[in-house]
Amino acid sequence: MFTLAGRTMIITGGAGNNGLAMINAALENGMNVAFLSGLHSKAQNAIAKLDPKYKDQVIGFAQNPQSRLKENLEAAPEIYNENSTMADVIRMIYERFGGIDVVVNAKGGHIRYNFEQTDQTIWRHSMEVVESAFVNTKLALPYLLKSKAPRVINITTCDGRNGGWYPDPSFAAARAGLEALTYEMAKELGPKGITSNCILIGPIEGDVPEEDVLSDEMRAQLLAKTPVGRLGVPQDVVGAFCFLASEEASFVNGARIDVNGGMIVG
């Protein structure tokens, strides 16, 4: 059994079914969880999907209140004001739970564009996943340094490893960038006692059903590239997450865990 009880996790990208599977596992094992989403209301909607028995273990905030300030002020005027920043959000999480032990950067969200369709606006939007992971981790750093077993877990797809399974240069470049950032974090933060690792997932059925609709032809192509003969499901990510978030993973730093059925070698 992994030592997770009493630890506090911040997670971006937790509103999809992959994130909810990890969050449920964290809560079941006694962790505290703080959702960070683009909108305060979206974070609250994700919390509403959880078992009410965990209400004292979970909170949710806007990741960057200023980016959608009007909507966040309307949703929670008792929390945000005109000057609210992400640093304030991270501080509130620390004050609520008395610590921050794990930062999970799992921000997703993207519409796929091929090389000819991709312009600078699309490119910059894709790169937000890398910037988000950097900013989240940097702002949490003072609190991670107070933890006895601090962890950074970056979760992305394997597209950056061998190119996308669907033509999409900005998506692949951003995912590769997040993997590279993980290695840099491991080198720089490791000496401070903070481990940094990444999980590379393959196509996951049911993560965001309204967005990830596969045609029969595309599904057959993906299955042909996946040696285990099936696509992933949200629960497949949970084991790798629980291990990397645990106190037992203290000597795992700069690792890449492939949760993609062998798609990288397929």
pTM above 0.85, yes or no: yes
Encoded tokens for 114: 């091929």
Domain boundaries, the chain: 8-259
Q: What is the pLDDT of residues 179-214, one digit of tens each?
A: 999 999 999 999 999 999 999 998 888 766 555 677
Query: What is the bridge-based pairing of β-strands 32-37 and 195-201?
Result: unpaired
Distance in angstroms (rounded) separating the CA atoms of residues 30 and 231: 30
- CA–CA distance, 264 with 42 (Å, rounded to integer): 33
CATH fold of the domain at 8-259: Rossmann fold (3.40.50)
Q: Strand 58-62 and strand 256-259: pairing?
A: unpaired
Q: What is the pLDDT of residues 226-264, one digit of tens each?
A: 899 988 899 999 999 999 999 999 999 999 999 988 887
The token duo for 137 is 């981790």
Angle at 154 between CA 128 and CA 24, to 5 degrees: 110
